[in-house]
Amino acid sequence: MAPTYDRPGEQAAGDPVRLLEIRDTPLSVDEIFRAVGDDAAGGTALFVGTVRNHDGGQDVGGLGYSCHPSARDEMRRVAEKVVADFPVRALAAVHRVGDLRVGDIAVVVAVSCPHRAEAFAACRKLIDDLKHEVPIWKHQRFSDGTEEWVGAC
């Protein structure tokens, strides 16, 4: 379904995809929030994914993320689909790769739209599609010495 707009100018001029990166350095929630700032946005939704201390009943000691060389291009494709489906003013997504500890930020995504309901829906679609469609893999290491690879993201 194509988005509808209440007033002229609700769709961002230019490219609303403001920031898309995969980094091996710590992520900044403030940076991603600033990237989606837009005076015409009445709602901004932000999701922060962190490394938790457990999974499937096991204690997680740490994990590593790695990605396919096409991952950034796939992030762009997912972002452009969200922009096409929602009245996005601005969008940003950054994913971490490398070794992370419990509590570290693994991914931050944010979307600003004219209204809050649209921002929530677009942000959820963005993180869900990134998780399922972008070739980023998680290698979990458990406290008991076992480990596992988890599909995309």
DSSP-derived secondary structure for 73-116: HHHHHHHHHHHHHS--SEEEEEEE-EEE-TT-EEEEEEEEESSH
Among candidates 82, 49, 41, 55, which has minimal Cα distance to 146?
A: 55
For 10, 94, 128, 141, the CA distances from 82, given in Å and listed in that order, are 15, 15, 11, 33
Amino acid at 118: E
**Cα dihedral: 68, 27, 108, 81 (round 10):** -50
As a whole number of angstroms, the distance between CA 46 and CA 17 comes to: 15
pTM for this model (two decimals): 0.89
Q: Residue 13 has what pLDDT?
A: 62
Q: Tokens 């499937």 label which residue?
A: 56
As a whole number of angstroms, the distance between CA 86 and CA 145 comes to: 44
Q: How many CB atoms lie within 10 A of CB 61?
A: 15
Q: Residue 2 has what pLDDT?
A: 44
- Report residue 112: phi and psi, to 5°: -115, 140
**Tens place of pLDDT per residue across the chain (153 aa):** 445 455 544 555 689 999 999 999 999 999 999 999 999 999 999 999 999 999 999 999 999 999 999 999 999 999 999 999 999 999 999 999 999 999 999 999 999 999 999 999 999 999 999 999 999 999 999 999 999 998 744
Relative to beta strand 58-67, strand 54-55 is antiparallel
